[in-house]
Structure 1
């Protein structure tokens, strides 16, 4: 079985198209989407118009939850997506589950218990660093994760994989559409891949064990950066061009 895992598209339609083309070239049995699909100053409506007909197994990320909140309190990225989406698209988002099991594979956005906690990353001196296995095991102490052989997560935008001592594999494919960000929650910190490339993962079960492969795909990032800049988001424009925050 081969699974392509996408996460954190953030409305970046050119990056999504490049990743979907790469998946089609490589081939897989199923493609899954781990949330944070449209939030941002790029192409929220068009991204859902492309994705929804594919009927991919999809979960909600924290930004799906947030953009459905009180419009008067939304952060700029969520507010832009909210006002751009059609009513039927908002209904599609409302119907997304926070977790999904596909046989022995668990999909979550952050951790099984929280869409805003990182599974494979710790915040160290304002940056993300790989978590040690014991910490990851504690975050996977959830009924749906205990007997999962593969846990797929997103949220940190940082591609990582970890094979635990019991054989379970945890994988974050990285972000399709936003290679760097800065946030003040829960404390100020930054994530950066150092590359403008779109990211995703291909996972194949070989001899009963999951073999993950983290992949990066070049695309026309200048188109996305220019759109972000034109919408008053120079921070996004810099991140999209350079894979790091200004």
Structure 2
């Protein structure tokens, strides 16, 4: 089974359209969105409607959670007062633009999606979250201590845990078996479709492959493929510059941060 996973679109319609054009050529069997459909650009409704018309199972990101409740807090971790002031402009505009119908959709998105595969007399649990299983806005960066990551995945009973929120893609594998036992767990950050922060301005998503030989006993039996795609960045950046949003958001898109 080939499963496409994507996250953190952030109202970037040109990026989302290019993602769909790319993924539709790859013959995937399932597709999931891990949240943060809105914020930071001018197309929140168009992005939501593209997701909805395709019936893509989607979980709530922290920005979706805030907008779904007409909140002025996106649960974002801004580092400076300038970033916070810019963020206030973004959430105010997003609240103004989002329709009642789309707000109701965001409000009712689930927090997590979990699937259990039963293969080779083993169970293989796939868990989809936005930030972490514990908090919608918890940042699981690549340099997170191994003990902390293992504890989080053990507590959530996740053999494959996929998430976004940091906008920085990575794949880490942990052997969490005790003593002479083997139990591999995979932590996979998808990166971002529409607001990358890994100094690469292309959109990022993941295709994982689970086959009839996949097992917690073999770390290589689960394939994880990171895919980068190009899109019309200038169209997205110009939309920011032609709006009340801070021009720094346009430069972030151009620079991949």
TM range (shorter): 0.7 to 0.9
The match for 1:57 is 57
The unaligned stretches of length 5 or more in structure 2 are: 75-87, 117-124, 176-182, 215-220
Deviations 1:107-154 (Å, cap 9, x if unpaired)? 1001101111123x1xxxxxxx52242221122243xx31x3211101
1:116 maps to 2:129: no
C-alpha RMSD of matched pairs (Å): 1.6
Q: 1:176 to 1:216 in 2, by over 3 A?
A: same
The match for 2:188 is 171
Q: 1:102 to 1:73 in 2, by over 3 A?
A: closer
In the TM superposition, residue 234 of structure 1 has moved relative to its aligned partner by: 1.1
Q: How many residues align?
A: 221
Asked if the contact 1:150–1:210 (Cα under 8 Å) also holds between the matched residues in 2, the reply is no
**Deviates further, 67-76 or 195-204:** 67-76
Asked if the contact 1:6–1:34 (Cα under 8 Å) also holds between the matched residues in 2, the reply is yes
Q: 1:25 to 1:73 in 2, by over 3 A?
A: closer
Please state whether the residue corresponding to 1:55 is helix, strand or coil: coil
Q: Which residue among 206, 210, 217 is the counterpart of 1:205?
A: 210
Asked if the contact 2:14–2:236 (Cα under 8 Å) also holds between the matched residues in 1, the reply is yes
In the TM superposition, residue 27 of structure 1 has moved relative to its aligned partner by: 1.4
Asked if the contact 2:69–2:107 (Cα under 8 Å) also holds between the matched residues in 1, the reply is no
Please state whether the residue corresponding to 1:168 is helix, strand or coil: strand
Counterpart Cα distance in 1 of 2:8 and 2:37: 6
Structure 1 residue runs of 4 or more that deviate by more than 6 Å after TM superposition? none
In the TM superposition, residue 93 of structure 1 has moved relative to its aligned partner by: 0.8
Query: Rg: which structure is higher?
Result: 2
In the TM superposition, residue 42 of structure 1 has moved relative to its aligned partner by: 2.6
Q: Which residue among 228, 234, 242 is the counterpart of 2:240?
A: 228
Q: Which residue among 95, 98, 103 is the counterpart of 1:85?
A: 98
The match for 1:217 is 229
Please state whether the residue corresponding to 2:24 is helix, strand or coil: helix
TM-score (norm 1): 0.84
Q: Which residue among 148, 165, 168 is the counterpart of 1:135?
A: 148
TM-score (norm 2): 0.81
The unaligned stretches of length 5 or more in structure 1 are: 122-128, 181-192
